[in-house]
Amino acid sequence: MSYVDGFVAAVPIANKDAYKKHAEESSVLFKEFGAQSVVECWGDDVPDGEVTSFPMAVQKKGDETVVFSWITWPDKATRDAGWQKMMEDERMTPENMPMPFDGKRMIYGGFAVIMQS
C-alpha cells in the first residue's frame, strides 16, 4: 500500500502568498522525486481546544493560521529515497527556498496506509 507524509504548521496570515509559492515550488520537486500527489490546505475552520488541538500543537499565534498538508508516495522505499534526494538538492536550500513559517513548530510524520476507500 501507499505511504503518506503528514504535516501541520502555523503560518503567518500575511505569508499566505509566500507559503503558496513555497508549496507549489517544493511540490514540483517532491513529484520529480517520486511523490504521487501533494496537498496543501489553508486553515479555515480550525478551533482552539481545551486539552489539545491543531493550534495548540503548533503553538499558533494570533496572526497565524494552521496549515495541514500531506504527500502521498507509492511506498515507503520511494518516500525514503525521495526525501534523501530532496535534502541533497540545491533547489531546497534555505537560500533558494526559504520557509515562510517557523519550521521548529511544525509537526510531521510518516504513515503506512492501512485503509483507503
The CA angle 93-96-99, to the nearest 5 degrees, is 75
Q: What structural domains and CATH numbers belong to the chain? A: 3-112 (3.30.70.100)
pLDDT of residue 94: 87
Kindly report the pTM of this predicted structure. Answer: 0.93
pLDDT of residue 13: 98
- 70: number of Cβ within 10 Å: 16
Q: Give residue 17's pLDDT band: very low, low, confident or very high (50, 70, 90).
A: very high
